């Protein structure tokens, strides 16, 4: 949430900053701003409500010169989206500018104290408090910008990734982080700062991931220096990015979401690559094989996650209980962290997060670690905070996910959780060789099955026209596909703004059935599995009440097509991994309905990817 970019070097900063903001726009898009120090040493700040394109239009006739600058795209937390609340925020003397991602919890206390010293505020944001505090410290203590920033950071409570420039020291950018991500790109005589690596990869693949409580001092023509907020020198660990620019572009698709749906053939291939023996008889996950005792002796597994990742977690829990026979619970990270949970030293906590930056999930694993649990990460973004904070884990390797609605990350998460369940089962001897081989070989065939399932696209596009203006949807599924129903409903509501609810199919008669009439269609995920007969009864119950049914069935099913209004046929696949295949038509249905409604599927209202605030 909120994207920050910074640059210092030999090129004009503005173009780099704005290009970077476009790359980070998925993190928030209610306003944007830039600040550059021009060759005369003047700090120019431009900000505008709306998307980055509106900022660019606003800047057209402005002085945008300067080889040092910072920029921001906002997802509002404190104060409505407006020009004045947009970042960068600046000091009263107009010399210092700051961009910030995160939330300052004690901003009000600090604000009151500064106001008592005569400080005036123009915005409602927590961020303005930080820059005014830096200015106050600098002028009262007559100290350097670095010392003032460090002292200010020692006074604030909360989460931050910041970048600060000062027209009195135009050759320096100060950046710092605590619980919000920040990456520094090291080029030749130039340095880049960003919330993630996507704005940096065009210029350099050498990056430093700042750690919590670190401050980077980026000075023109000098090597990067990093200290802690306690003023201790830190090591600068330069890593090489493995990301290509083409992964960050739409590649001919009209939207990132559609590109990411269609990419799943390849992303699942990348996800399983090297992790399943060629003949399907063994799973190789170093996160499990390097820590056998942790899994053999695990009394319990706790899965923590949010949103779509939580849905993947529900499927994961079933897979783990089924194949590894370890009691497994799934918790919303936001609830878990404040629930005073009982965590035991023999617990294994699995954190699932596409971004690896979700604030609640990060806090949940910090809590679990403090209490002695072994923490396993299932992340997508390499080098992300959760990936680094966990003891070990498995990357899903699906490449950058830019559409705000998670698609390929969900199928990657379920695939990794299936491999994880099998790997633990293999280690503990709770899964038979035959069972393991059957599921492992099906995992190997997923890319081909996804390609086949994607052929449903034209049928789903046509079908979507019938349902574009419906106001409510019900999604039903059972067993492994109950979470698929939750995920299908979430996809639809977040991008089309149609109210949708997911339920375990049998629960429908305990309440939601009252909602069913001919205005409320029901999507039923009904592949050929152990619960198939039961789902057929649930469909009958919907039909008996005049509701229309869109059913996702296994090819060859003859019963459901006779009763449902529309059927979407998916290829046969073992029950345990059927949610990967069932996800595809659900994603396409949500996409096409949203497009027909004229919604911005890649940047739905009020949402942002990478939820780095509580």
The catalytically annotated residue of 2, 119, 169, 271 is 2
Q: CA–CA separation, 203 vs 205, rounded Å?
A: 7
Q: CA–CA separation, 328 vs 322, rounded Å?
A: 10
Quickly tell me which residue has 């979401």 as its tokens. Answer: 257
Q: CA–CA separation, 366 vs 378, rounded Å?
A: 15
Task: Name the residue nearer to ligand F6R (CB basis): 30 or 569.
Answer: 30
Instruction: Compute the least distance from the CB of residue 389 to ligand F6R, in Å.
Output: 13
Task: Name the residue nearer to ligand F6R (CB basis): 406 or 578.
Answer: 406
**Binding status of residue 334 toward ligand F6R by CB under 6 A:** no
Task: Name the residue nearer to ligand F6R (CB basis): 73 or 191.
Answer: 73
Instruction: Compute the least distance from the CB of residue 111 to ligand F6R, in Å.
Output: 30
Residue in the shown chain whose Cβ atom is closest to ligand F6R: 307
Tell me which stretch binds ligand F6R (CB under 6 A): 26-34, 261-269, 349-357, 548-556: 349-357
Tell me which stretch binds ligand F6R (CB under 6 A): 61-69, 132-140, 348-356, 579-587: 348-356
Return the residues of window 479-538 that contact ligand F6R according to CB under 6 A.
490, 494
**Binding status of residue 353 toward ligand F6R by CB under 6 A:** yes
Quickly tell me which residue has 């290009």 as its tokens. Answer: 19
Q: Both tokens of residue 391?
A: 């003891």
Beta bridge partner(s), residue 32? 48, 73
Find the binder of ligand F6R among 405, 549, 581, 603 (CB under 6 A).
Answer: 405
Task: Name the residue nearer to ligand F6R (CB basis): 263 or 494.
Answer: 494
The catalytically annotated residue of 47, 178, 493, 609 is 609
**Binding status of residue 464 toward ligand F6R by CB under 6 A:** no
Tell me which stretch binds ligand F6R (CB under 6 A): 306-314, 435-443, 478-486, 584-592: 306-314
169 is catalytic: no
Instruction: Compute the least distance from the CB of residue 306 to ligand F6R, in Å.
Output: 4
Tell me which stretch binds ligand F6R (CB under 6 A): 81-89, 168-176, 266-274, 304-312: 304-312
**Binding status of residue 406 toward ligand F6R by CB under 6 A:** yes
Find the binder of ligand F6R among 67, 101, 125, 308 (CB under 6 A).
Answer: 308
Q: CA–CA separation, 218 vs 192, rounded Å?
A: 9
* 3-class secondary structure, 31: strand
> Contact, 399 vs 262, CB < 8 A?
no
132 is catalytic: no
Return the residues of window 591-610 that contact ligand F6R according to CB under 6 A.
610
Instruction: Compute the least distance from the CB of residue 185 to ligand F6R, in Å.
Output: 22
Task: Name the residue nearer to ligand F6R (CB basis): 136 or 209.
Answer: 209
Q: Identify which of 508, 504, 506, 486 has the alpha carbon closest to the alpha carbon of residue 590.
A: 486
Return the residues of window 104-143 that contact ligand F6R according to CB under 6 A.
none
Instruction: Compute the least distance from the CB of residue 482 to ligand F6R, in Å.
Output: 17
Contacts of 311 (CB under 8 A, 6+ apart): 410, 483, 484, 486, 487, 490
Q: CA–CA separation, 479 vs 612, rounded Å?
A: 32
Instruction: Compute the least distance from the CB of residue 381 to ligand F6R, in Å.
Output: 8
Quickly tell me which residue has 């280690």 as its tokens. Answer: 427
Q: CA–CA separation, 554 vs 568, rounded Å?
A: 8
Q: CA–CA separation, 98 vs 131, rounded Å?
A: 6
Beta pairing, strands 206-209 & 191-194: unpaired
Tell me which stretch binds ligand F6R (CB under 6 A): 39-47, 54-62, 353-361, 364-372: 353-361
Instruction: Compute the least distance from the CB of residue 27 to ligand F6R, in Å.
Output: 11
Task: Name the residue nearer to ligand F6R (CB basis): 387 or 431.
Answer: 387
**Binding status of residue 611 toward ligand F6R by CB under 6 A:** yes
Neighbouring C-beta atoms of residue 462, cutoff 10 Å:
11
Instruction: Compute the least distance from the CB of residue 481 to ligand F6R, in Å.
Output: 18
Contacts of 470 (CB under 8 A, 6+ apart): 498, 519, 520, 521
Find the binder of ligand F6R among 358, 426, 453, 484 (CB under 6 A).
Answer: 358
Find the binder of ligand F6R among 179, 264, 265, 355 (CB under 6 A).
Answer: 355
> Contact, 468 vs 593, CB < 8 A?
yes
Instruction: Compute the least distance from the CB of residue 362 to ligand F6R, in Å.
Output: 9
Q: Both tokens of residue 87?
A: 């970042």
Instruction: Compute the least distance from the CB of residue 547 to ligand F6R, in Å.
Output: 26
> Contact, 169 vs 184, CB < 8 A?
no
Q: CA–CA separation, 462 vs 452, rounded Å?
A: 18
Q: Identify which of 289, 527, 257 has the alpha carbon closest to the alpha carbon of residue 403.
A: 257
For the four alpha carbons of 95, 98, 103 and 104, in that order, the dihedral sign comes to negative
Q: How far out from the chain centre does Cα 3 lie?
A: 13
- The site string for ligand F6R over 413-452 (x = CB under 6 A, - otherwise) reads ----------------------------------------
Contacts of 10 (CB under 8 A, 6+ apart): 67, 189, 190
| Number of residues forming the site for ligand F6R (CB under 6 A) | 15
Tell me which stretch binds ligand F6R (CB under 6 A): 354-362, 525-533, 542-550, 553-561: 354-362
Q: Identify which of 366, 395, 365 has the alpha carbon closest to the alpha carbon of residue 383.
A: 395
DSSP string, 390-432: SSEEEE-------SSS--HHHHHHHHHHHHHHHHHHHHHT-S-
Return the residues of window 153-172 that contact ligand F6R according to CB under 6 A.
none
Q: CA–CA separation, 59 vs 83, rounded Å?
A: 13
**Binding status of residue 354 toward ligand F6R by CB under 6 A:** yes
Q: Both tokens of residue 160?
A: 């931050």
Find the binder of ligand F6R among 309, 328, 426, 554 (CB under 6 A).
Answer: 309
Residues with catalytic annotation? 2, 609
Which residues bind to ligand F6R, rule: CB under 6 A? 306-309, 353-355, 358, 361, 405-406, 490, 494, 610-611
């Amino acid at each position: 949430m909120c994207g920050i970019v910074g640059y210092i070097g030999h090129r004009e900063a503005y173009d780099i900053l704005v290009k970077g903001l476009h790359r980070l726009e998925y993190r928030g898009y209610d306003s944007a701003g830039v600040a550059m120090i021009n060759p005369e040493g003047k700090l120019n700040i431009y900000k505008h409500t709306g998307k980055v394109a509106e900022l660019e239009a606003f800047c057209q006739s402005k002085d945008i010169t300067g080889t040092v600058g910072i920029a921001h795209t906002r997802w509002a937390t404190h104060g409505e989206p407006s020009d004045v609340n947009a970042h960068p925020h600046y000091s009263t003397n107009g010399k210092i500018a700051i961009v910030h991602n995160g939330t300052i919890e004690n901003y009000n206390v600090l604000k009151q104290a500064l106001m008592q010293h005569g400080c005036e505020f123009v915005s409602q944001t927590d961020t303005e408090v930080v820059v005014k505090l830096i200015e106050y410290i600098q002028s009262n203590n007559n100290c350097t910008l670095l010392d003032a920033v460090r002292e200010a950071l020692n006074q604030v409570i909360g989460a931050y990734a910041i970048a600060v420039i000062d027209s009195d020291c135009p050759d320096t950018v100060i950046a710092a982080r605590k619980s919000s991500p920040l990456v520094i790109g090291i080029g030749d005589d130039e340095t880049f700062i960003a919330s993630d690596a996507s704005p940096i990869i065009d210029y350099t693949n050498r990056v430093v991931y700042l750690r919590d409580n670190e401050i980077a001092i980026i000075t023109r023509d000098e090597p990067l220096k990093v200290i802690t907020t306690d003023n201790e020198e830190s090591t600068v660990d330069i890593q090489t990015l493995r990301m290509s620019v083409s992964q960050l572009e739409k590649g001919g698709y009209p939207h990132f979401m559609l590109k990411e749906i269609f990419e799943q053939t390849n992303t699942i291939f990348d996800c399983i690559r090297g992790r399943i023996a060629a003949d399907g008889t063994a799973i190789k996950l170093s996160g499990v094989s390097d820590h056998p005792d942790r899994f053999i002796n695990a009394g319990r597994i706790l899965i923590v996650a949010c949103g779509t990742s939580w849905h993947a977690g529900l499927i994961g829990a079933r897979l783990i209980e089924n194949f590894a026979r370890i009691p497994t619970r799934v918790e919303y990270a936001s609830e878990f962290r404040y629930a005073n949970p009982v965590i035991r030293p023999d617990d294994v906590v699995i954190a699932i997060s596409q971004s690896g930056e979700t604030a609640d999930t990060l806090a949940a694993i910090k809590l679990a670690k403090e209490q002695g649990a072994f923490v396993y990460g299932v992340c997508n973004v390499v080098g992300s905070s959760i990936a680094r904070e966990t003891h070990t884990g498995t990357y899903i390797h699906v490449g950058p996910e830019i559409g705000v609605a998670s698609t390929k990350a969900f199928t990657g998460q379920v695939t990794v959780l299936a491999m994880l369940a099998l790997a633990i089962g293999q280690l503990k001897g709770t899964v038979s060789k035959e069972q393991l081989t059957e599921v492992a070989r099906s995992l190997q065939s997923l890319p081909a099955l996804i390609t086949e399932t994607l052929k449903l696209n034209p049928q789903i596009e046509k079908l979507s026209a019938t349902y574009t203006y419906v106001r409510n949807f019900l999604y039903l599924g059972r067993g492994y596909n109950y979470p698929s129903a939750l995920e299908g409903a979430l996809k639809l509501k977040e991008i089309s703004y149609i109210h949708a609810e997911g339920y375990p199919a049998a629960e429908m008669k305990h309440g939601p059935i009252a909602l069913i009439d001919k205005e409320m269609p029901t999507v039923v995920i009904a592949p050929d599995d152990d619960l198939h007969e039961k789902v057929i009864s649930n469909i009958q119950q919907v039909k008996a009440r005049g509701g229309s049914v869109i059913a996702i069935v296994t090819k060859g099913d003859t019963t459901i097509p006779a009763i449902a209004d529309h059927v979407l046929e998916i290829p046969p696949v073992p029950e345990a991994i059927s949610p990967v295949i069932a996800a595809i038509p659900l994603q396409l249905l949500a996409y096409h309905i949203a497009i027909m409604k004229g919604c911005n599927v890649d940047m739905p209202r009020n949402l942002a990817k990478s939820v780095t605030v509580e």
